[in-house]
Structure 1
Amino acid sequence: MMATVLRPEALHALPRVAPGSAALAEALVALLEADGIGASIVRDAPAGPWFACPDGVRFRVPGGPALAPERVGDAVALLDRADPLLMRIERALGVTFEPETVDDGEPEPGLILSLAAEDVGVTIAFPLDHRAGPQWEAQARALRPAESQLPLVLRLLVAGPRIGVDEAGALAAGDLVLIGARPGATIEASDGAARTGQLDLFSGSFTLHPEGNPMAADSAAPRDFAVPLTVRLPERATSAASLATLRPGTALPLGPITEGMPVELLVAGRLLARGELVQLGDRFAVLIEERAGIEDVDARPIEVEVDGAEAQA
């Protein structure tokens, strides 16, 4: 349970976070982990001596003998032990660690990271005003994909034929529902936008229709008491940039649409059956494998067309 009252003296026990360290921490961790170096933030400076560098960076090598300015051999041994990891960190950050002394003093307020790789660990204290800070932050931003390149998940709905209510109710495993090779289709993106056009099942490309053009069903003239069937294909992914540049008449590649692909047959947005896509010459069809169970169907009424007008079944 979260406390609703915090006594002032309890604040002294909270971890100390140096103001302004968040951006530097995010940048350094991103750059180091991109190079396969495990990094974690240390809230309090460990007690003991540090190797001190001229640029304000200090580092320690856990384990081994205690450091002292007069024990040069021990210091050299520790540096030799940590050298492979220090070299990787230098390459990742574009800096050079050149310790000029061993200092018992506590590092100035800054960011302390515990780093590990290749069975070696070091603890490094970075000053918040390090001259390379802006460069590190810029390099870390460059590692992140631009928002326009982030993937968007697409739901792909293909217009099927209109069939009679009785026919829809009688569909069973083994039945085939024919659809054209280039049916009307709608793509619904994970950003909430829906776009209507035509899907070429042979090439797997979606062509956008002018705005307002409804998804046309692959059917002959409307029949009385007919329900429109829709085929839901597996979800696809594209980039936000590709979707943003889609214009009427232009095509968006969605990847191959193959025979045997699992699909769902919907009626008025409700799951009617599951099956697979099959090719019949220059057309396609849904081979029904199973009807949807009653638990898969919601209670929304089915919309049917009666002489071109909509009615409620």
Structure 2
Amino acid sequence: MTADAATRPVTVLGLGLMGSALARAFLRAGHPTTVWNRSAAKAEALAAEGAQVAGSVAGAVAASPLVVVCVSDYHAVRELLGPIEGFEEGRTFVNLTSGTSREARELAAWGGGAYVDGAILAVPSGIGAAETPILYSGAADAFEEHADTLRVLGGAAAFLGADHGLASLHDVAVLSLMWGTLNGFLQGAAVLGAAGVDAASFAPLAAISANTVAGWLGGYAEQIDSGAYPGDDAALDTHLAAMEHLIDESEAVGLDASFPKAIKQLADRAVAAGRSKDSYAVLVEELRKR
């Protein structure tokens, strides 16, 4: 990191749990940090830690070449920046507000200027850690100019490309993985719980199994990209039989089986399409259908 980057002023707009964590990470790293929040009381603790509190959005934006925004949604971003008519010339705006790829692209078109969209794949307590992934996409030159400063927020920062929607798109893809994994754990815990097995006893085995499944992802990714799905490890019809076991076990003890049923319905469609001897990864072809 250059001496200039190490002391470059930063502005943070929005001081919820995540926005406050972002501001504190910049302060800890020695960046002069200006903050603004709609309710000024949220800035008091940061002011005591050395932040400068701006009296207006315009004043906060004028204070720094790098402006980081983290508010409730993209509509709120537009409301904040409306009085200054978008992304002010001479400033790089990095929006770490959660949203969709469509919203990111629309905001880029609305605001103009040097705009980088981002997605934080962590909770507030993870901000500043070397292993915390934060994804960015949009104006490449603007990102490169401030990359060292932004790595203060998470060491595993990654720039994904010029399409402003890519960061948000990766974010929802990871959420899909998270919820799928958690729902599988919850279904298993519920089935075992009906037999008197507590979730704490199941958790170590679940973690080992999740790591095993993670090891399959690279191979399945190659199959998806190539469009060829050899069922060398286990054919889809083998998976389908096991899905029926989970549904039967769930229903036998009076549990909601809608989650495994939804998975089986997807597999049934693939089998009906003649893919019973392909690998589990072939289900991506069903997901691609409207």
TM-score, normalised to structure 2, is 0.23
Normalized per residue, the structure richer in helix is 2
TM-score, normalised to structure 1, is 0.21
Normalized per residue, the structure richer in strand is 1
Of structures 1 and 2, the larger Rg is shown by: 1
